[in-house]
Amino acid sequence: MKIIISFLATVFLAVMTFAQEESASPAESTAPATEEKASATVEETPASKATEAIAPVPEKKAEAATSPKAAATAAAKTEATTSTAAKPAAAAPSGKKMSVREMEEKWEASIPSHDFTTVQGFVASDFVGVSSQGKFVDKSSMLAEYKKDKDTYKSAKNERLNVKSFGPNVTVVTGRAREKGTGKDAKAFYRTFLFTDTWILRNGQWQCVASQINKVKG
């Protein structure tokens, strides 16, 4: 009987040991899967976090580029560039540049109205000359004579103008000027002058640099 009990005890212990080994083996088989998942989680998490960290940057840049303010700025720059490229150079003034002959005519025509500013624009700053009163004059003294003139004119015109060029930048004009009117003493006058004017082209503009006027009879 003892032998049987001992045998049963041995069998029972063997069964229990086998059962424990069977129950332990699934845990061991499960552990690697858990470790693989854990490792997968550890390996994938940085990548996903990096993706999440980087992703907002392009979105913000795209948003900034497409924002109304950025679009308006880009449009303004494009329009400015286009208009600058398409805009032609400033056109030259439409006013025709006067010839020396035309300037001589306008000079004499300005005398009845005492428009000395016209003469001032025609005469060079380094002007030299001899006046109808036989005096040496520069620009300022010649204009002073114009300002002193209080006569009333009926007419003033040039005659027999002779315009001669001495190269592209120098022109000499000789002519006769006739003036009619009433002096400040209320007496009528009839004056005739012979003159020689020298003009030089400077910076695209003709200027009178020298003049001599002689008062004659008739």
pLDDT digits (tens, 9 = 90+) for 169-185: 999 999 999 999 999 88
Q: What is the pLDDT of residue 162?
A: 98
- Residues spanned by the domain of 157: 101-216
Helices (H) and strands (E) in the chain, counts: 6, 6
In this structure, the answer to whether residues 106 and 205 fall within a common structural domain is yes
Task: Confirm whether 89 is domain-assigned.
Answer: no
Query: Could you tell me the two tokens for 15?
Result: 């069964």
Distance CA 164, CA 171 (A): 6
Share the mean pLDDT of the chain: 73
pLDDT band at 94 (very low <50, low <70, confident <90, very high): very low
Q: Which positions ≥6 away from 57 have C-beta within 8 Å?
A: none
124 φ, ψ (degrees, to nearest 5): -70, 155
Say yes or no: 26 and 77 in one domain.
Answer: yes
CB 86 within 8 A of CB 101: no
Residues of the chain with pLDDT > 90: what percent?
Answer: 50
CA distance 99 to 97: 7
Of the given ranges (18-27, 55-64, 110-119, 206-215), which has the lowest mean pLDDT?
55-64
Would residue 157 count as lying in a domain? yes
Would the pLDDT of 17 be above 90?
A: no
The residue with greater pLDDT, 119 or 84, is: 119
Looking at 55, 84, 113, the residue that finishes a domain is 84
Which token pair is 94? 């439409």
The pTM score is 0.56
Residues 109 and 188 in one domain: yes
